[in-house]
Amino acid sequence: MNRPLRHIAVFCGVLVLALLARATWVQFVQADSLAKDDNNRRVKIEAFSYPRGNIIVGGKPITGSVETRGDFKYKVTFKDGPMYAPITGYASQAQSSTFLEGVYQDVLNGKDDRFFLHRAQDMLTGKKPRGGDVITTINEKAQKAAYKGLTNLHARGAVVAIDPRSGKILAMASTPSYDPSDFSGISLAEGKKFVALDHDKDKPMSNRALREIYPPGSTFKILTAAAALEHGAVTDINAPSGAPAPYTLPQTHTSVGNDVPNSLCDKVSMKTGMQWSCNNVFLDAAHKLGTDKMRETAEKFGFNKEFFTPVRSAASGYPQKLDQPQTALTGMGQGSLTSTPLQMAVITAGLANNGKVMKPFMVDELRGPDLSTIEKFDPVPLHPKDPQAVSVETAKKVQEMMENTVSAGTAKKAQIDGVTVGGKTGTAQHGADVGDERPYAWFVSYAKQSDGSSPVAVAVFVDPKDMNIPRSEIAGGKLGGPIAKSVMEAVLKK
């Protein structure tokens, strides 16, 4: 063979080897990533070629599948879609999946590795594949009460209810909401609906329960009280605090008053301060504790970290560096402090559970196509090595103050006949210049059984920005109290 031919042969051999190497790389190394690529239409067509598994609430499916025309044979349907959207998210042929539909996509579409034997059997028998089911912890009646309470107000807002003993999320509502069924297909009309929702100024696709953060206002005073008791800044909840009303922030000439007459709050005890939501008592307590001790207690209840329920939540924030007046302001839930409604429900649940904080979760188990359990989720403490955020003694003192606030203070709207209820109201100023926006309304509460345990704790958040009510009517007790009561009654079956 002459030299030029030899060079051509070697060159062709190199090309063949390169082609084989590339084919091997694509088939074996990149196969998984290519199969999961959002732009891989063949994978999408296959994924929607059979019915998807369901999300279950109270033993009944709240999602389903319906046959369609075109390449995608099935699309997902949602029962009571707007009510359950903050839980299910959406599963769209064009827009992918979010929340539980997204987190457990492989389970719902039958691609989870744990379904290998089922898939193999289906291939041998010619049986159509089917996805698995996601069994939630949601209480159907509590969810309905939460959603109805918010929609009756025509308000932006959120409700989260938790079983303090286990951390199970019993309800999670967010308004305004949307129906995931409206764009679960791939048609042009459905695409337009999605775009319209995505650009809606009312943000119906925002999960206000998990993904939005707000100043928690006076509901945070329950944590301030717990921190003050736990660190010894307050030893007797009935002793005079010595905090004057109005209260001058340290190192400033700024005076902070109260929503009730200052005469009701001047130098009163912490118990009375909780009863009438006296800002001065809790400003003073936070100032005496200092930033580090306040933040330490807040973090034991979950601040400064994301929750995974398994849907990821935004992290509530207690800042690392605060000066003295800023620290004092966090005592009444203002300043640089931020919280999700989920976080405030976790705090309330932890105190109702005698100081032991459980990790919040909303999936009880995953089931295979044959209804066998493939994974069961058990309750676990938020911090397994140190489950107690505060001592039992501290928690019981805060309970005493919260129960007094319901029976004889600002939280009377949460009273339930024959049931011990603890609660705390809150209004939170916000905006670039505090006071330039209508305040947020908050309410947190829990209900006790006869044995002293609590099966439900609730956090209600209401943004009254577009509500047709005067500013003087915006109050956590008035707007949030009745909603919290109805959710607790649903869980208690009263």
Cα separation, 62 vs 83, in Å, equals 10
d(CA 156, CA 223): 25
Burial of 82 (0-12, 13-18, 19+ CB in 10 A): buried
Q: Measure the CA dihedral 172/177/179/184, to 10°.
A: -90
* b/e map 103-130, b = 16+ CB within 10 Å: bbbebbbbbbeebeebeeebeeeeeebb
DSSP 262: G
The label of the residue with tokens 């103050």 reads: 401
Of 92, 177, 184, 218, which residue is the catalytic one?
Answer: 218
Which positions ≥6 away from 20 have C-beta within 8 Å? Answer: none
Q: Is 269 a catalytic residue?
A: no
Contact predicate 55/76, CB 8 Å:
no
CA distance linking residue 19 with residue 13, whole number of Å? 10
Residues 378 and 166: beta-carbon distance below 8 Å: no
Q: Residue written as tokens 């299910």?
A: 88
Residues 205-235 as b or e (16 or more Cβ within 10 Å = b):
bbbbbbbbbbbbbbbbbbbbbbbbbbbebbe
- Bridge partner list, 376: 365
Please tell me the distance from the alpha carbon of residue 214 to that of residue 210, in angstroms, as a whole number: 11
Rounded CA-CA distance 226/168 in Å is 23
Q: How far apart are CA 285 and CA 270, in angstroms?
A: 9
For residue 55, give the H/E element and its range.
strand 55-57
| Strands across the sheet containing 55-57 | 60-61, 55-57, 133-136, 363-367, 373-376
Please state, in angstroms and rounded to a whole number, the distance separating the CA atoms of residues 343 and 361.
12
d(CA 160, CA 461): 9
* Active site members: 218
